[in-house]
Amino acid sequence: MQLYIGNKNYSSWSLRPWLLMTHAGIAFEEKRLRLEWEDGSTFKTTLLAIAPSGRVPLLVDEGFAVWDSLAIAEYLAERFADKRLWPSDTKARARARSICAEMHSGFSELRSTFGMNIEASLPEVGERMLRENASAARDLKRIDAMWYEALQASGGPFLFGDFSIADAYFAPVCTRIRTYALPVGTRAQEYTRHVLALPVFREWEAGALAEHDFLVEDEPYRKR
């Protein structure tokens, strides 16, 4: 398998399948491409030669391309059923799918206001933007409540007890909480610390810190 990803510092969608596969011990070859959205860029031409989306993440399994992080997660769950990537309980599995779908299609204000930026520390931006952007504040409140409910039901340490697709899916939010010092409840704080302390996340983080690649379009709050 080959997994095409973007910059580790910025590409939140790439983090999701990479973390899932690495944590589950699913072997793959990492294909990292510098995020460049212009037509004719190496990023675009490489990806468009494989799949019509022209985006990361992109999984290739024996020549078969699967794009979109949620589709990749579902493909892996079927391909490696023994890994139990979704919770085994029917209702827990349905709830995990529900919150992943909500993350996938929603929280646009939170995602656009607080882009993933692992190497940065921007607490003053977090405070200011939550004060100025009521929609982003509502998104954060919803995630806090969602995590509380899941952790209360499962007992932790992950959202549904054991690590699952849901945890891989919300890992980028954990990085945002740290980068922007976003205020969340005690359970969410503990969960965030737990996810960011995972050896597999630390591996991704080390790669992000080693990039030293400042992309202006992903840096709305800082100048080079």
For 162-217, write each residue's pLDDT tens digit. Answer: 999 999 999 999 999 999 999 999 999 999 999 999 999 999 999 999 999 999 99
User: Would you kindly state where each structural domain of the chain is located, as residue ranges?
Assistant: 2-83, 90-204
For 18-71, write each residue's pLDDT tens digit. Answer: 999 999 999 999 999 999 989 999 999 999 999 999 999 999 999 999 999 999
Q: CATH code for 2-83?
A: 3.40.30.10
Please tell me the distance from the alpha carbon of residue 59 to that of residue 68, in angstroms, as a whole number: 9
Cβ atoms of 179 and 120 within 8 Å: the answer is yes
> How far, in Å, are 11, 100, 130, 155, 162 from residue 167 at the CA level?
16, 9, 24, 14, 9
Mean pLDDT score of the chain: 97
pLDDT at 224 (0 to 100): 85
**CATH says 90-204 is which class?**
mainly alpha
What global pTM score does this model have? 0.97
For 133-143, write each residue's pLDDT tens digit. Answer: 999 999 999 99
